[in-house]
Amino acid sequence: MLQISKLNAWYGASHALQDISLEVSKGEIVCLIGRNGAGKTTTLKSIMGLMGRARGSVTFKGEELLRQPAHVRFALGLAYVPEERRIVQGLTVRENLRLGLVASKQKKREAELIDEIAAIFPRLAERMDQEAVTMSGGEQQMLAIARAMIAKPDLIMLDEPSEGIMPVLVDEMFELFSSMKAQGTTVLLVEQNVELALGIADRAYVLDQGAVVHQASAQALLADDEIKERYCSV
């Protein structure tokens, strides 16, 4: 579904990604792990079209994306939930969800889709008319994920979704990722909590200093203390 080959990206003169190659097959949960500053967020931003300067190849469902702007990539079925969530202040939960629909041009099915989301996230259903920023961090993260899911993406990219969230909600969120997979959504997950992420992932890539240094099945990596210690301890 997603094939990245020799991806390079820069912040000004700083060469942040160096020849990243990775792939994600339909229906997989693939995890990117590595220390702070390893290049995980930059990889997701490059896939979504949010890096000013990127070279190499990113194909999604057979189409080359690298020259395409972010909105085109979104329309092709890519979704991205950034670390900073971007919940819109002054809007209710419902209005924030509606933004996801407007962006995906699925206005006609609004009521139906909002019902669907409510069924997946009962907590959001109870808070549809609450101002979104008054919810807890975890609930806002659920909203950000719901807003991305409402567009029915083929592949959703999540950047550190568990960051700063209560453990009980984190468990709920990870169950949701597994059920997304069961329903056919492909997931590319960046996560600091390596054990948790590998628990639901099929495969993982380890990044260090802007390069892929290791790849393995989630199961193999879970058992590989040396790699985890060398590249994943904060």
Q: Give the pair of three-digit tokens for residue 186.
A: 């492909």
Q: Is residue 170 within the footprint of ligand ADP (CB under 6 A)?
A: no
Residue 159 CB, nearest approach to ligand ADP (Å): 7
Pattern of binders to ligand ADP over 11-50, x per CB under 6 A?
x--x-x-----------------x-xxxxxxx--------
Residues 41-100 contacting ligand ADP, CB under 6 A: 41-42
Binds 11, which of ligand ADP, Mg ion, none (CB < 5 to 8 A, cut-off by type)? ligand ADP
Residues 21-80 contacting Mg ion, CB under 5 A: 40-41
Binds 16, which of Mg ion, ligand ADP, none (CB < 5 to 8 A, cut-off by type)? ligand ADP
Cα 205 from Cα 29, distance rounded (Å): 11
List C-alpha distances in Å: 176 to 115, 168, 180, 206, 219: 16, 13, 6, 24, 20
Q: Which is nearer to ligand ADP, 122 or 164 (CB)?
A: 164
Q: Is residue 162 within the footprint of ligand ADP (CB under 6 A)?
A: no
* Residue 40 near residue 207, CB atoms below 8 Å: yes
Residue 228: name the closest of 28, 23, 218, 201 by CA.
Answer: 218
Cα 185 from Cα 177, distance rounded (Å): 9
C-alpha R_g of the chain: 17
Q: Which is nearer to ligand ADP, 11 or 126 (CB)?
A: 11
Taken as a whole, the chain contains a residue count of 234
Q: Is residue 161 within the footprint of ligand ADP (CB under 6 A)?
A: no
Contact residues: ligand ADP, CB under 6 A? 11, 14, 16, 34, 36-42
